[in-house]
Structure 1
Amino acid sequence: MQNRRKTGVYGWALAKAGFIVAGPNHPGTTSGDSTPADTPKLWERTHDLSAVIDRLTTDPHWSGAIDKDRIGVVGFSLGGAAAMEITGARANLEAYARYCDSYKKWDCAWYAGRRGYVDDKPVEVDKVDLRKVDRVRFEQSNLDRRIKSAVLVDPGLAQAYDAQSLNEIAIPMNFINLGSGGTIPAAVIASGLAALSPNGSYATIAGADHFSFLPECKQGAAALLKSFGEVDPICDDGNGRSRADVHSELIKLVREALWRSLKERS
């Protein structure tokens, strides 16, 4: 969520052989095209995800390779928030607004305005009043019952979710935080979410931070990003552990979670 240019990643495990399909871009909340005003509109993201599943499960070139009873979703950051909602989690607007009344970092700092991105260029933007977000849409159910398993890595809007909605999610919800102990920001901490989910699990990856999910940076990338005005430490994991090593552990956790939960349905 804090990263303005990489606002969420998804994948699906939805084939008989277990292949992964990358998620779509979302205008207004995707790399190079992201504004604070569009960020809370998770209903647009879940609609996009369901539309992709619609297409793949009916397209003659793909449908034969897809087991409709074994569709899983993997989401990171804002993508993790959308993945939560498509599994049945519902957000509470007032609870989220109250959280940002006192928390001034990460997602809440983003809503404070000043900068967004359009067509890969920074633009000046106004502050977002969360209480003026479309409450009906923000709090609606975006459940797609075709999803049978979810892996949620540093899910965004972690402070917004209604506890009862999480209590009602029957599928496996595998939460992963990048970091450990007090290093995990309130914006994405998922231990409480896992505890509320009847089939929830929780894991952390020590020596990592939120940006460790992103690809390894090439030489000179940090300086280049700084020259563009990027303020987030996208290339700095800062914990003495290589990003490749973090990726290896994360891939193992995601693979095991999907294999365990989706294989059991075969």
Structure 2
Amino acid sequence: MWLRPQDLSKTIDALQIDEFLANYIDMNKISSIGHSLGGWTVAALAGARFDTDLFKQDCTIHSHLKACQLVNELGLDNPQLNKNMSDQRIKSFISLDAGLVRGFTADSLKNIAFPSLIIGAGIDVGDMNVELESGYLQQFLSKSLSTYIVIPDATHFSFMQICKSDAIDILEQEAKGEAIICKDGGNRTRTEIHREITDQIIDFLAKVNLN
């Protein structure tokens, strides 16, 4: 987990020195975007500080959250997670239905002094309540700099790629219950949900880049 922000910083390093791509990159307008654990990653890159003790305490209250069941698997008690993983080149960030954010300290979120777009999924798949995850970020991020949007008919998996026409049957054959990956809420297709997400992101970036 603690290597994820570092990987993105190294990506920016590589782009910055690339003889071809560097000519097309404005290093004063770098934005990071991530979904799920990627949402956690871009928040950490923006300056959010994880506290393993805080996360442990929160899990005594919200033990039903899947993140609390993945402590060993993801190394969520490793002190490496407590270090500063921010990158000063990040000027805005976009989080898509992030997870594990309840380990970020309130003060570190309050101190993020640039724009953010937080998009959450309105339909809980069982352990990703939007108010306990994306809503937690919004609770402490600057209200003047942060935009918080909940898409009512989106699930956590609605942000993933479009599924093949027979994907649900294939997934159910592979492992019972896995078809949830291809299911969205409401009457809209995933393509329509993606269009809304895309429009929100483009609008956010357009406003950020005007400044």
Please report the TM-score for the alignment, with normalisation by the length of structure 1: 0.71
Instruction: State the Cα distance separating 1:99 from its structure 2 match.
Output: 2.9
2:7 is matched with 48
* Root-mean-square deviation (Å): 2.4
Q: Report 1:145-156 matches (<5 A).
A: 145-156=88-99
Query: Which stretches in structure 2 are left out of the alignment for 5+ residues?
Result: none
Letter in 1 for 2:140: L
- Asked if the contact 1:74/1:150 (under 8 Å) is kept, the reply is yes
- After superposition, the Cα gap between the structure-2 partners of 1:55 and 1:187, relative to the gap in structure 1 and judged at 3 Å, is farther
1:263 is matched with 210
How far apart in 2 are the matches of 1:256 and 1:75?
A: 17
What's the secondary structure of 2:199's corresponding residue?
A: helix
2:102 is matched with 159
1:213 aligns with one of 149, 159, 180? 159
Instruction: State the Cα distance separating 1:181 from its structure 2 match.
Output: 9.4
- Residue identity over aligned pairs, in percent, reads 29
Q: Please tell me whether residue 195 in structure 1 is matched to residue 139 in structure 2.
A: yes
Please report the TM-score for the alignment, with normalisation by the length of structure 2: 0.88
Instruction: State the Cα distance separating 1:230 from its structure 2 match.
Output: 5.9
How far apart in 2 are the matches of 1:148 and 1:191?
A: 21
Letter in 2 for 1:210: H
1:81 is matched with 40
- Asked if the contact 1:87/1:143 (under 8 Å) is kept, the reply is yes
Which structure has more helix as a fraction of its residues? 2
- After superposition, the Cα gap between the structure-2 partners of 1:261 and 1:230, relative to the gap in structure 1 and judged at 3 Å, is farther
What's the secondary structure of 1:247's corresponding residue?
A: helix
- Asked if the contact 1:148/1:262 (under 8 Å) is kept, the reply is no
How far apart in 2 are the matches of 1:172 and 1:106?
A: 29
How far apart in 2 are the matches of 1:107 and 1:230?
A: 21
2:28 is matched with 69
Instruction: State the Cα distance separating 1:259 from its structure 2 match.
Output: 1.4
- After superposition, the Cα gap between the structure-2 partners of 1:207 and 1:129, relative to the gap in structure 1 and judged at 3 Å, is closer
Q: Report 1:1-266 matches (<5 A).
A: 41=1, 43-101=2-60, 102-109=62-69, 111=70, 128=73, 133-135=77-79, 137-179=80-122, 185=129, 189-198=133-142, 199-229=145-175, 231-232=177-178, 233-264=180-211
Which structure has more strand as a fraction of its residues? 1
- Asked if the contact 1:106/1:187 (under 8 Å) is kept, the reply is no
Letter in 2 for 1:197: L
- Asked if the contact 1:99/1:159 (under 8 Å) is kept, the reply is yes
Of the structure 1 ranges 238-247 and 86-95, higher mean CA displacement relative to structure 2 is found in 238-247
